[in-house]
Amino acid sequence: MDLWLRESQISDAVMTYKIKQTLIRKKTKYQDLAIVDTYCFGKMLVLDGIVQTTVKDEYVYHEMITHVPLFTHPNPQKVLVVGGGDGGAVKEILKHPTVERVVLCEIDQEVIEQCRKYLPEISFALDDPRCEIFIGDGIKYVHEHKNSFDVIIVDSTDPFGAAEGLFGRSFYKEIDECLTENGIFVAQTETPFYLPEVVKGIYNDAKAVFPITKLFMAGIPTYPSGFWSFTLGSKKYDPQKVDLSSSVNINTKYYTKELHKACFVLPKFIENLTK
């Protein structure tokens, strides 16, 4: 008998993944947590039935959500990740030699513990001495830390439940105050193919706060529609104008200096969401 993980990407479209083995399944204080081993994407973290990250394609999302802001900022030293309990964003952030400290503010300690145990390929950098783990709500943490970070990355679950308050104008205002003078913020901001109005609303909320606000895209096989958006808010530096010619070479599988610029060139139907 075959075993399949069935993920509802939207109410009337599902994706199914053939499973070799369920490594862990438990209810945490915040969500239903599972880590399964699949034939097609290897091991994957699933929260409330939604695929978060897989060992086969995690590099796309984690490289783009980190290297685009970190190469846009001229000297990123202090970085905050809100969410990101699988450690994938931290893994990429610590490739930047300028980074002295990265704080991971994750609400669910179980995510960190289970990813450490079952997904060491993604979570290993959580043990780096430059990484400080804070277990708590990112909304509260951002509110309580002013003028503290050069780059803030909101690597959250989708905008409902505990993550609902990590989207929207009031939170982006808090982010603005938590950033240092020329800080940069990036968030994962859903699929414009299935949820154009959600993407448009998030973009407009960020634009109301940040003088430079941009949408960029990446192709992520295990995310709904495979077409994923990120929203960047910047106080001073424009990611499309930054000179990358002398930026340090780091080991990547998806991000390139050319893609850093190209990812902001949007298909018409997505560009229309930013008008």
Catalytic residue annotation: 155
Cα–Cα distance, 224 to 273 (Å, whole number): 18
Q: Is 83 in the site for ligand SAM (CB under 6 A)?
A: yes
Of 50, 52, 55, 70, the C-alpha closest to 9 is: 50
Residue 62 marked in a binding site = yes
Q: What count of residues does the chain have?
A: 275
Q: Name which of residues 162 to 221 contact ligand SAM (CB under 6 A).
A: 162-163, 166
* Binding pattern for the stretch 44-73 against ligand SAM, x by CB under 6 A and - elsewhere: -x-x----xx----x--x------------
Q: Is 106 in the site for ligand SAM (CB under 6 A)?
A: yes
Angle at 50 between CA 165 and CA 119, to 5 degrees: 100
Cα–Cα distance, 177 to 38 (Å, whole number): 42
Residue 150 marked in a binding site = no
Angle at 167 between CA 73 and CA 141, to 5 degrees: 70
Q: Tell me the window of 35-43, 66-74, 150-158, 237-245 that interacts with ligand SAM (CB under 6 A).
A: 150-158
Residue number of the CB atom closest to ligand SAM: 83
Q: Is 7 in the site for ligand SAM (CB under 6 A)?
A: no
Q: Which of 85, 224, 233, 239 binds ligand SAM (CB under 6 A)?
A: 85
Residue 138 marked in a binding site = yes
Burial class (CB in 10 A: 0-12, 13-18, 19+), 16: exposed
Is the CB of 26 or the CB of 269 nearer to ligand SAM? Answer: 26
- Least Å distance, CB 29 to ligand SAM, is 10
Q: Which of 138, 159, 183, 239 binds ligand SAM (CB under 6 A)?
A: 138
Pair 129, 101: CB distance under 8 Å: no
Q: Which residues contact 127 (CB under 8 A, 6 or more apart)?
A: none
DSSP-based three-state secondary structure for 8:
strand
Residues engaged in binding ligand SAM (CB under 6 A)? 30, 45, 47, 52-53, 58, 61, 82-86, 88, 105-108, 111, 137-139, 155-157, 162-163, 166
Residue ranges of the annotated binding site for spermidine are 62, 86, 155-158
